[in-house]
Chains A and B, each alone.
Chain A
Amino acid sequence: MSAAILIVAEHDGSRLNVSTAKCVSCARALQGAEIAIAVCAADASQVASQAAELAGVARVLTVENPANAHALAAVLAPQIVALAGPFAVVLGPSTTFGKDLMARIAGLLGAPQVSDIMAIESPTRFRRPVYAGNAILTVESAGAAKVVGTVRMASFEAAGGGGAAPIEKAAVSVELPNHTRFITVSAAKSDRPDLQTAARVISGGRALGSADGFKILYSLADKLGAAVGASRAAVDAGYAPNEMQVGQTGKIIAPELYVAVGISGAIQHLTGIKDARTIVAINKDGEAPIFEVADFGLVGDLFQIIPEIEKLVG
């Protein structure tokens, strides 16, 4: 069954986020899907050409407006709604950008939203996790004209390149609100790989004891080219910033290798890592639930083990 699918691009004004390529993979799972990407930006040229290169994309629609300099859901939503007419499915990534925006679009459309799509079985039938991933739910839209969805990042590989889709400027004339203003974003500058796309991730829990304690993880991560994550407990305690949180309400990741250090393994944390290819748990408590999901478990003092590993791989 063929379906027209619109994907809302996530970007920072110059670089297309890999989350968009994952949405394309989700959409391509539908045979014959006709995929368009919408790029809303102040100047869309750079991002649009990156979107046009993604394999499987039929066209790229650009909406240029100075108001799009920062991604504000209240500003973007009416513009996407203006483009959405011909599309049966409107997708965005299940990142904070997409989760914030797509539900506002669904609200304006009066359409149902399927959050965290892990599989798309038809233009109206989807699978998604509920209860922190402890159940998988199949949902089917019952006659709605459109379905809005957010795509679970850990469930899809990024689509490849090599495409050359035409780029069209879309004429969108809707009134945009000015009740919401961007002030600032404080992103810690880091040379480490991005947590959501890294092949290797090392995460620390409360057992690290302090922000200083995390240094042994950063040091090992840099040796391995790994990203560093944290449990909710470690973030709550102030040992690591919020953007490092892995779990139900933080980031849901699927690295090749996940090393959980001093993390007991609450179900809310496990839901964030269950798609990891290999899980390693290092914990002094041999009864910790993290060992139930770990491929390799090592019971012991992390402050001895981590420097040892670093020496062995160095």
Chain B
Amino acid sequence: MKRILVGIKRVVDFNVRIRVKPDGSGVATDGVKMSINPFDEIALEEALRIRERGGAEEVIVATVGPADCQQQLRSALAMGADRALHVQADGLIEPLVVARALLKLVEREQPFLVILGKQAIDDDNGQTGQVLAALWNRPQATYASKVELTGDKARVTREVDAGLETLEVDLPAVLTTDLRLNEPRYVKLPDIMKAKKKPLETLTLAGLGVEQRQQLKLVRFEPPPQRQKGVRVKDAAELVEQLKKKGLL
């Protein structure tokens, strides 16, 4: 069966203004709205569109994390994923551990395409897709803004600093998504009901044979330095005068 594996992460919703805990141990997440990482939603949307065009038969969504992550897996099923895999793990899970777990799922499910978000908006690491591609010894096409599949190849347009770069990769391959790849669909109520009946399988890191190693210790979180509030100027002339005074014009 032609399968696409999509990795998602549960993160603090992008609209939340986060606060660093006073003891510096992390950011406050109690009672904070949690969502699917926006880039991962784009990854799932792309997989669904490929399936709807007949380019794939099954879309599997997977995550590595604590029990609460099942909410985001259910949302992904409501969006249209066929089934979900939850690799249960608590505490800090580094990108290398996630990539190793995903590799085990890849070996089990044999997808022709793995799609992930280019970064999670909580830790902003931006590593998991590339690490998975390295471990799997397969191509990576990161920051994708357009994906065309033809036979056993994909042509991927990437958003790079210089503009747009196009790569051709042999499949299977790992893609990571950028913002403008697509606009994810809204979930309708009947789909949420249907999603409750879709299969969601729970696995563990240990069961997959992956050790939950932590190589980076989180020493301290601090709030960033705040900028001083500035002044209002009344018109263009005053603005230009002020900037000239500071030697900026």
Q: Cβ of B17 and Cβ of A267 under 8 Å apart? A: yes
| Distance (whole angstroms) from the CB of A15 to the closest CB of chain B | 12
Which of A38-46, A47-55, A160-168, A291-299 contacts the other chain? A291-299
Chain A positions 104 through 119: 1 when the CB is less than 8 Å from some CB of chain B, otherwise 0: 1111101111111000
Would you give the shortest CB distance from A146 to chain B, in whole angstroms?
A: 10
- Which residues 196-231 in A have Cβ within 8 Å of B in the complex? 196, 200, 224
- With a cutoff of 8 Å between Cβ atoms, the chain B residues found around residue A300 in the complex are 235
> Smallest CB-CB separation from B173: which chain A residue?
A179
Indicate whether A155 reaches chain B with its CB closer than 8 angstroms. Answer: no
Number of residues in B with C-beta < 8 Å to the partner?
83
* Interface flags, B216-247, vs A, CB<8A=1, else 0: 11111111100111111111110110110010
Name A180's closest neighbour in chain B (CB-CB). B139
* Contacting residues of chain B (147-179) with chain A, CB-CB under 8 angstroms: 155, 158-170, 173, 178-179
Tell whether, in the assembled complex, residue A132 and residue B143 are in contact, meaning their CB atoms are under 8 Å apart.
no
- Chain B residues near A242 (CB-CB < 8 A): 145, 159, 163-164, 178, 180
Contacts of B132 in A (CB 8 A): 107
Cβ-defined partner of B248 (8 Å) among A112, A249, A257: A257
Q: What's the A-B contact tally at a CB cutoff of 8 Å? A: 247
CB < 8 Å neighbour of A268 from B14, B127, B167? B14
Give the chain A neighbours of B84 by CB distance below 8 A.
none
Question: Inside 8 A of B39's CB, which chain A residues have their CB?
Answer: 249
Judged by a CB distance under 8 angstroms, whether B72 is at the interface is no
A144 within 8 A of B: yes
Cα A293 to Cα B226 with chains together (Å)? 8
Q: Which residues of chain B are within 8 angstroms of A294 by Cβ–Cβ distance?
A: 230
Partner of A107, one of B12, B130, B243, B248: B130
B216 to A: closest C-beta gap in Å = 5
Min C-beta distance of B201 to chain A, whole Å = 26
For A128, the closest partner residue in chain B by CB is: B124
Chain A residues in 8 Å Cβ range of B179? 232, 236, 249
- B230 to chain A: which residues have CB within 8 Å? 279, 291, 294-297
Q: Give the residue name and chain of the A residue nearest to B238 (CB).
A: A298
Report chain A residues within 8 Å CB of B142: 73, 96, 99-100
Contact of B233 among A144, A184, A296 (CB under 8 A): A296
A138 to chain B: which residues have CB within 8 Å?
Answer: 218-220, 222
Q: Would you give the shortest CB distance from B185 to chain A, in whole angstroms?
A: 17
* Neighbour of A312 across the interface among B124, B223, B236, CB < 8 A: B236
Question: CB of B123 within 8 A of chain A?
Answer: yes
Q: A136-B224, A184-B166, A295-B231 are in contact. Are A179 and B18 (CB under 8 A)?
A: no
Can you spell out 18 A-B residue pairs with CB atoms less than 8 angstroms apart? A97-B160, A104-B131, A106-B134, A132-B124, A135-B20, A137-B219, A137-B222, A177-B137, A179-B139, A179-B170, A180-B170, A184-B165, A187-B162, A257-B248, A257-B249, A295-B230, A298-B232, A299-B232
Given contacts A100-B140, A103-B128, 14 further A-B contacts (CB under 8 A): A99-B126, A100-B130, A111-B215, A139-B216, A140-B216, A141-B217, A179-B139, A180-B141, A183-B166, A236-B179, A242-B163, A243-B161, A295-B227, A308-B236
The 6 closest A-B pairs by CB, nearest first: A107-B134, A107-B131, A103-B130, A112-B215, A295-B230, A308-B236
